[in-house]
Each structure stands twice: as C-alpha cells, then as structure tokens.
C-alpha cells in the first residue's frame, strides 16, 4: 500500500458489456469490459484457444536448426538471462529438449557482476569451453551484435529466442524468434521470454511428430503442458501484460501447481514462501515465488535458481529453496537500506514543494547492482514518474535499471536520448515498463538532464499525477464472500489486467495495530460492518484518527483456522470531514 503523497482515486469509464455472458454477475461483467475483454471466448482459458506459434517469424528456421541438432546429437548450450524469466526459460528449454531426445544439453548464465547483460564475446568463450555446437539464447540476445558475431566466428550455430524490443540492426544469428521483430505477424507482442521458448518447443515437437521421430528414435512424445508452471512463473515474474494468450498460459500453469503437479523446485519455493499451493494466485508467483528465484541473480549467481528448477530431487530442491529464501531475506534488507537512501536523495536534490522533474535519476557509489531495479521501482511508486537507479560496476561504468509508469514507454525514451546524444549511452535495451542501460560515470549528470528533458517534452503532466483507477462503488449487498471468490476465479490478474479495485466512503468503527505496521479495521457502510486491513499503514494520519474515510479497496478471502471470511484490503485511503 502506498501511503505517501496524494493520490487521486479515479473511476474507470463505463464500457459496453452486452457481449459478455449474462450468467456472470453484473459487477464482474462491468470489470471485464473495462479491461478490454472484447468477446466471450477471451474468458475461456483452455489451451485449445492458444494462439498458433507457426505465425512467429523465424520459427521454421529455428525448428530446422533444432531438428538438425537432434539428429546429429549435437551439443546444445543455452545462454540465459539472470532473472526469473531467464531462469524459467532456460529450465523449460533444457527439460523440453531432453524429453524430445537430446542427449547433450547444458547452460551458461552470465553473472551480472562479471559479464553484464546478454550474449557477449566473453560469454561465447564459456559456451565454447562446454564444447557447444548450437548456442540458444533465452530471454536475451536480440541486441547482442558482438556476441553473435563472435559465436559465428567460432563456428557455432546461433538461435536467438527473446521478447525484448530490437534495435535498428539485428544480430546475424542463424535464426531469431521474437514476437517484437518488425513486421512479425504473431498477434500477441506480450510473450515473456519463457513464452517464446515454449512456443519454439511446441513447434519442434510438431515437426518431429511429422517426421516420425518418436516412433523411429524411441523417446515417448512428451506432454509439454507439464512445463506450463515454468511458463506461468516466468510470465508473471517478468511483469509482461497479461493479454488473453498470456492469461491462458498463466491460468494453466497455476492449475498444475494447485493440483500439486508442478516442477519439484517450484513447489519447494512455494513452501519456502509460506503460500498454500492449493489456493495459489498469480500474485503469489509475482510477490513471493518470483522474488526468491530472482534473489539468486541479484545477489549471487542465477545458476542456483536454474538448478532448483532443473532438479527432480525433492530433498535437494528443499535445500536450494531454503538457500534462495535466505538470499531473498538478505536482498530485502539491502533493498530497504538502499531505498531509504534513494528517497532521501530525491528530497535533498530537488525542491520539497512537489516540483520534481518528469524523470528521476538516483545514484550512490555504494549501492549494490543487484537491487537497483527494485529501488527504481520503489522510488517510481512513491513519486509516480519514471526512475532510473544506478550502481557502479567497478570499472568507471554505471549500470542503470529503469522503471516507468503507464503511458510512458521507457525504452522509447532511452532511444530518443541516444539519438540526440549518441555519445552518452554505452548500451540500452528493454521494453515499455522496464529497461536496462550502461554509461560512463562521467556522463551521469548530462544523461540525467537529457533524460528529464525528453520526458518533459513527451509526457503529459497529467500522467505524472498519482492515480488509482477504481471500478467504482459496490452496493453494500454486493460486498460478499461469493463475489470475492468469483473475482479470484476470473483471473489471473496482473500487468495490464489489474485486479479489481473499488472505492467508497466508510465510517471507522474500530481500529488496532497488528504486526507493528498494519492497521486492522472494522468499517461501516450502510447497515453493514466489514473487516478490513491496511498493510504498512499504521503510522498514517488517517489510520490514527480519521473517523470517515474515502477508501480504495480490494475484496479478499481471509482463510483462518479452516474457515473463510470476507475481508477488504485497503490500498489507499483519504480522511474525510464528517
């Protein structure tokens, strides 16, 4: 819950819901129509409605490379990114190829502190040391011009699978699969890296089936749906938009996990996070499981996370999940300290009357590379504008992580800065809401000014005003446990398909602090009294004294000692004069 600054609660404009099934509650029809659900079939999350992967440009070339590698039993090495999307992509690709009959499959994951992002010539040397014939990138590679050139010069075949936006020049790989290539006809541009490699494996299996591979070579044809829990975790953790296709992938992965059929390592991470797997939601993957997996890449080496996803040994997975949990606790402490320093830096560097520039850059030479992305997100949440947090790499270079707000495409902003000031940036890449960049420390001041100037030109001031979009008020009789269950079942909710948020005026009947930071409330609306909780709100003015609140809230089901209770989760509140 964001308790700092002033938020405007705005209600979404009504949308036509006449095309949606009338057996749905009117409230739910209203919610879904407001999120752009254009037809009833978009609510059917079965796999039979997945988009066809054969429309992905480059898919035929990619499959041909893989078929040749399988027939020759070539050595295949994956190069993965060091986040949850990269780890799940790598694990899925390796598991799928082994199930399809590959005998020699390995991986390399760059340590971000030694090699930086993507496929670089030094990473190619690591791949060569493993005796590779075919190099496959997952969740990276689309901007790795030098790395691909080095791989080809070394005699390697190169397949790039990625989802990040390409630059003006594509690397000279033997095949590239990326839905965001210019002119690619695949209807969804929102696939995560793990979604791209999943589609590649589906296409490979189809080609092998046509060729009679499974009957001739012996391996049983695998059910690739067994890997959908990896797709769900990587997709949610990478915060890509949950369009209809991604919702199907995530929903099916969640269903497998709730049924206890997920990968051993993911199930161990769920237990380490304290979540109930039978009631798992997309938000649990995003806020509990994903961060534990990401902790390896942020503070140590993502190899630990990948090994956890590859292993079928329950005891080994439990041990690795405990280690990842410990790393995540250390990450939280480090992030908290860095976040407080960054927020204080904004106060010191800029005026206190709210006249902040349209974009913020924050840096301290002591900050850890592994947490600047999270810190950028926290500062962005507080001040509601694009933020880049930087850390030193040790060689006079800065690495920055950018986080943006709805309506501001951060990768395009960096592209504009680079076009106007070609010497400022060493490299950059990313997508609409997040990006990474490198530049010399000596360029930071000039870059900060250029970044803010581009945003001042391109961004409407209203976009920089903190805003919570509400689905409106609920009639008191509609605030029920049944509606809370129906909303949960209508998910998965997430990026670009936000969980429903409502707003209304409540009278505070009771309040008490729980867990030192949270406020437990009893709220009156009409003739009803409802339980509510506001996380991290114990020290706000409204929580301490206000008797009347305008609150934005979500409906949730509170499970306690085997029973269920409706509970409002207060996301934001403003005191009102009685």
Question: The pTM is what?
Answer: 0.92
Residues in the chain: 578
Domains of the chain and CATH, by start: 8-41+468-575 (2.40.50.460), 53-326 (3.90.1640.30), 350-464 (3.10.310.30)
Instruction: Give the integer Cα–Cα distance in Å for 508 and 530.
Output: 10
Q: Mind giving me the DSSP string for 333-389?
A: HHHHHHHHHHHHHHHHHS-TTS---SSEEEE-TT--GGGHHHHHHHHHHHH-S-EEE
CB 339 within 8 A of CB 365: no
Distances (CA, A) of 371 to 334, 354, 401, 402, 555: 7, 26, 9, 12, 32
Instruction: Give the integer Cα–Cα distance in Å for 136 and 173.
Output: 10
Backbone angles phi and psi of 513, in degrees to 5: -85, 135
**Which residues, 6 or more positions from 84, have their beta carbon under 8 angstroms from its beta carbon?**
233, 234, 237, 238, 290, 293, 294, 297, 305
pLDDT per residue, tens digit, the chain (578 aa), is 333 345 789 999 999 999 999 999 999 999 999 999 999 999 999 999 999 999 999 999 999 999 999 999 999 999 998 899 999 999 999 999 999 999 999 999 877 667 767 899 999 999 999 999 999 999 999 999 999 999 999 999 999 999 998 988 999 999 999 999 999 999 999 999 999 999 999 999 999 999 999 998 778 999 999 999 999 999 999 999 999 999 999 999 999 999 999 999 999 999 999 999 999 999 999 999 999 999 998 888 899 999 999 999 999 999 999 999 999 999 999 999 999 999 999 988 875 555 789 999 999 999 999 899 999 999 999 999 999 999 998 788 999 999 999 999 999 999 999 999 999 999 898 888 899 999 999 999 999 999 999 999 999 998 998 889 999 999 999 999 999 999 999 999 999 999 999 999 999 999 999 988 899 999 999 899 999 999 989 888 788 788 999 999 999 999 888 899 999 999 999 998 87
Backbone angles phi and psi of 121, in degrees to 5: -55, -40
Strand 157-161 and strand 360-363: the pairing is unpaired
CB 420 within 8 A of CB 450: yes
Strand order in the sheet with 397-403: 360-363, 387-392, 397-403, 434-440, 427-430
Instruction: Give the integer Cα–Cα distance in Å for 508 and 545.
Output: 9
Instruction: Give the integer Cα–Cα distance in Å for 366 and 386.
Output: 22
> How many other C-beta atoms are found inside a 10 Å radius of the C-beta of residue 155?
9
């Amino acid at each position: 819950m964001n308790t700092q600054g002033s938020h405007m609660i705005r209600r979404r404009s009504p949308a036509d819901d006449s095309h949606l099934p009338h057996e749905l509650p009117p409230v739910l029809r209203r919610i879904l129509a407001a999120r752009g659900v254009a037809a009833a079939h978009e609510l059917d999350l079965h796999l039979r409605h997945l988009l066809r992967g054969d429309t992905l440009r480059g898919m035929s070339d990619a499959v041909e490379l893989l078929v040749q590698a399988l027939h020759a039993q070539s050595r295949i090495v994956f190069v993965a990114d060091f986040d949850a999307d990269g780890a799940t992509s790598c694990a899925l690709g390796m598991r799928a190829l082994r199930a399809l009959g590959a005998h020699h499959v390995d991986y390399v994951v760059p340590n971000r502190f030694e090699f930086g992002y993507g496929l670089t010539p030094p990473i190619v040397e690591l791949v060569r040391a493993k005796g590779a014939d075919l190099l496959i990138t997952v969740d990276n590679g689309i901007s790795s011009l030098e790395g691909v050139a080095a791989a080809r010069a070394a005699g390697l075949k190169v397949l790039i699978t990625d989802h990040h936006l390409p630059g003006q020049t594509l690397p000279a790989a033997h095949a590239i699969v990326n839905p965001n290539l210019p002119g690619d006809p695949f209807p969804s541009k929102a696939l995560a890296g793990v979604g791209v490699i999943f589609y590649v494996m589906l296409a490979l299996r189809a080609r092998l089936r046509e060729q009679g591979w499974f009957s001739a070579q012996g391996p049983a044809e695998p059910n690739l749906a067994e890997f959908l829990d990896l797709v769900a975790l990587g997709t949610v953790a990478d915060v890509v938009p949950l369009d209809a296709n991604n919702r199907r992938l995530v929903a099916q992965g969640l269903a497998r996990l709730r049924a206890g059929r997920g990968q051993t390592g993911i199930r161990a991470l769920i237990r380490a996070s304290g979540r109930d797997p039978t009631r798992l939601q997309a938000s649990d993957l995003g806020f509990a499981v994903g961060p534990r997996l990401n902790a390896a890449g942020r503070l140590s080496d993502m190899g630990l996370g990948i090994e956890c996803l590859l292993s079928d040994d329950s005891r080994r997975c439990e041990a690795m999940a405990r280690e990842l949990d410990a790393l995540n606790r250390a990450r939280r402490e480090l992030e908290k300290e860095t976040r407080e320093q960054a927020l204080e830096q904004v106060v010191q560097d800029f005026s206190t009357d709210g006249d902040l520039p349209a974009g913020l850059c924050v840096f301290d030479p002591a900050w850890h590379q592994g947490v600047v992305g999270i810190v950028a997100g926290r500062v962005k949440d507080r001040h509601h504008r694009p933020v880049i947090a930087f850390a030193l790499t040790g060689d006079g270079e800065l690495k920055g992580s950018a986080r943006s707000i709805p309506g501001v495409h951060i990768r395009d902003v960096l592209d504009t800065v680079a076009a106007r000031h070609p010497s400022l940036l060493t490299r950059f890449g990313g997508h609409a809401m997040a990006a990474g960049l490198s530049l010399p420390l000596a360029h930071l001041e000039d870059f900060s000014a250029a970044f803010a100037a581009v945003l001042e030109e391109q961004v409407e001031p209203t976009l920089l005003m903190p805003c919570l979009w509400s689905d409106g008020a609920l009639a008191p009789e509609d605030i029920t446990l049944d509606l809370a269950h129906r909303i949960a079942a209508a998910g998965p909710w997430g990026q670009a398909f936000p969980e429903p948020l409502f707003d209304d005026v409540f009278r505070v009947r009771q309040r008490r602090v729980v867990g030192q930071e949270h406020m437990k409330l009893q709220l009156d609306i009409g003739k009803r009294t409802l339980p509510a909780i506001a996380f991290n709100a114990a020290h706000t003015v409204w929580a301490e004294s206000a008797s009347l609140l305008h609150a934005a809230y979500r409906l949730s089901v509170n499970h306690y000692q085997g029973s269920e209770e409706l509970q409002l989760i207060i996301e934001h509140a403003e005191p009102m004069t009685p």
